[in-house]
Structure 1
Amino acid sequence: MVWYLRVHWHHDFPEEPVELYSEVGDEGYETRKVQMFRDGRLERADMETETTMTGLSEVPIESLEEIASEEEFSPSVIGREEFERVWSQAGISKET
């Protein structure tokens, strides 16, 4: 079953993303991802395309509870519609 995740990352690193959106497939691996940066920039990655800052995780996504146990992360399950909206806003970066 495919599910969708949004994680707000609470930090002060100026070059790192502050919101992470993931489409998670049956085996727990990301199949698509969008990262939102502090300046509003959106980058996306899928099985064929990634940027220097945004790529799919090489390990399965942890459970919502495990992610939430880290104080710098605020995760929530989102619907497909919200993920698709952010995915389409991100477009494809020319950076590889």
Structure 2
Amino acid sequence: MEYLKCEWIHDDADEPILIYSEMDDERYEVRKIEFYRDGRYGYAYEDVEVGGVGVGLGEVPVPTIEEIAEDEFGHFVPMLISKDEFEEVWKDTVSNKNP
């Protein structure tokens, strides 16, 4: 498994500004949490999608950090994180609250 935190810099209130993804060995998302500028959030795992706008798991493998960072407009700031960091965010967001 690999864990990604990605800041998305933009002005669209309907899109997330921070995305956490847990990916399998082929880089397909297993779990994902999205946070929005106004405090909303959404998450997805297996066949579950809660909150957010189109928060579902990606249907294609997640690009590498290098590919994400190469965005020609510089809108994405990706960072690999530890499993522990992802689990803490997941626990604080998904296990303890409802959107």
What is the aligned-residue RMSD (CA, Å)?
1.8
More divergent stretch after superposition (35-44 vs 6-15): 35-44
Give the structure 2 partner of residue 12 of structure 1: 11
Q: Equivalent residue of 2:3, what SS?
A: strand
What letter is aligned with 1:65? E
Residue 23 (structure 1) aligned with residue 26 (structure 2): no
SS of 1:90's equivalent in the other structure is helix
Show structure 1 runs of 4+ deviating over 3 A. 92-95
Distance, in Å, in 2 between the alignment partners of 1:39 and 1:82 is 23
Structure 1 residue 45 displacement after superposition: 0.3
Counterparts of 2:90 and 2:70, CA distance in 1:
27
SS in 1 for 2:48: coil
1:38 and 2:37 matched: yes
TM-score of the superposed pair, with normalisation by structure 2: 0.86
AA aligned to 1:62 is: P
Task: Tell me which amino acid in the other structure corresponds to 1:13.
Answer: D
Give me the whole-angstrom Cα distance separating, in 2, the residues matched to 1:33 and 1:6. 10
Maintained 8 Å contact 1:19/1:35: yes
Task: Report percent identity of matched pairs.
Answer: 41
Tell me which residue corresponds to 1:85: 88
Tell me the matched-pair count.
Answer: 94
Unaligned runs of 5+ in 2: none
Aligned residue type for 1:45:
A
Residue in 2 that maps onto 1:59: 60
Supply the distance in 1 between the matched residues of 2:65 and 2:15 (Cα, whole angstroms): 21
Structure 2 counterpart of 1:33, one-letter code = K
